[in-house]
Amino acid sequence: MANLLDGKALAQKIRIQLQQEIQSLQAQAGRPPGLGVLMVGENPASSVYVRNKERACEQVGIASFGKHFPTNITQAELTEVIHSLNQNSEVDGILLQLPLPPHLNAIPLLYEISPDKDVDGLHPVNMGRLVRGEAGLRSCTPAGVMQLLREYEIEVTGKDVVVVGASILVGKPMALMLLEAESTVSITHIKTKDLAKLTCEAEILVVAAGYPKLITASHVKPGAVVVDVGINRLTDYEGRKRIVGDVDFEGVEPLVDYISPVPGGVGPMTVAMLLQNTLWSYKQRVGKNLE
């Protein structure tokens, strides 16, 4: 049986550490860290994510400046809200919850967020800092994967790592973080020819393709480490809904040394890294020497 990469337990451990640090820093700085999460419309999945983020903020002592807007808000109005939060000295992080309604263009809106408040790590400035290996805000999900690997003392330096998925949210920054850690990284995706041939060579396999149960037993090397980033909502023939990853857990788990479950693996780590990014931004703002 494989060892489980328990992101839920690690995320809780990180929250306790953040809560303690925030209590100490707030006493010196005179204010808590602040996070503004912007949500447009009533997308059910987004509503759950935003509630979880706001609840997590409350648990660790981060002030929430969340704003929920009707679906008919205009591009110009939302841009103005972002500018207002950029200028608000009590807000250290800004997150625009995706997806947005079709009439809104997410890319220019994300670019309007100040790079130093971009706690999702999606601004080109922060992506550039990642490419250059400079300090900065990192994309939450891949940062969570790296933290999970460190927690379980899984060495990545020199390892053959395959990333399945090349999105700007996960795949590309994931590959860059692994490269920064001196892994040998291959990036694949759903259109890769003979995907199994490449994934079977991976000592560490990170899957973020967005296709349920894409990776089966025939795709993995025995003894590998498998990190499943996928979150897919399926409905069975009886109408019951469940969440599955991009990996066929039941088929793969007996073959590998470590595997992350879905749910309870990478998902909680994404929120934990959002909180950690907000604290990092706060510390840059109120003074790096505050301890």
pLDDT tops 70 at residue 68: yes
CA-nearest of 151, 201, 198, 207 to 174 is 207
Query: Domain limits of the chain?
Result: 31-116, 140-267
Quote the pLDDT of residue 22.
96
Q: What is the mean pLDDT of the segment spanning 119-143?
A: 95
Confidence of residue 49 (pLDDT cuts 50, 70, 90): confident
Query: At 225, which amino acid appears?
Result: V
What's the chain's average pLDDT?
A: 94
pLDDT tens for 218-228 read: 999 999 999 99
Q: What percent of the chain has pLDDT over 90?
A: 87
Give the C-alpha separation, 262 to 188, whole Å.
21
Quote the pLDDT of residue 44.
79
Q: Mark whether 8 is an active-site residue.
A: no
User: Which is the catalytic residue, given 26, 53, 159, 213?
Assistant: 53
pLDDT tops 60 at residue 9: yes
Give the C-alpha separation, 260 to 258, whole Å.
7
pLDDT tens for 238-267 read: 788 888 999 999 999 999 999 999 999 999
Confidence of residue 288 (pLDDT cuts 50, 70, 90): low
User: Which is the catalytic residue, given 92, 116, 120, 246?
Assistant: 120
Q: Mark whether 53 is an active-site residue.
A: yes
Cα–Cα distances in Å, from 127 out to 10, 24, 163, 269, 273? 26, 31, 18, 20, 16
pLDDT tens for 19-48 read: 999 999 998 999 999 999 999 998 877 888
Q: Which residues contact 197 (CB under 8 A, 6 or more apart)?
A: none
Q: Which segments are annotated as binding site?
A: 165-167, 190, 231
Give the C-alpha separation, 34 to 287, whole Å.
15
Give the C-alpha separation, 219 to 24, whole Å.
47
31-116 against 140-267: fold identical: yes
Assign domain 31-116 to a CATH class.
alpha beta
Chain-centre distance for alpha carbon 236: 28
Counting beta carbons within 10 angstroms of the beta carbon of residue 102, is it exposed (0 to 12), middle (13 to 18) or buried (19 or more)?
exposed
Give the C-alpha separation, 37 to 54, whole Å.
8
Q: Parallel, antiparallel, or unpaired for β 34-40 and 67-69?
A: parallel
Q: Which segments are annotated as binding site for NADP(+)?
A: 165-167, 190, 231
User: Which is the catalytic residue, given 97, 159, 172, 213?
Assistant: 97
Cα–Cα distances in Å, from 235 out to 115, 188, 243? 39, 28, 9
Q: Mark whether 97 is an active-site residue.
A: yes
CATH number for domain 140-267, candidates 3.40.50.720, 3.10.450.50, 3.40.50.360, 3.40.50.1820: 3.40.50.720
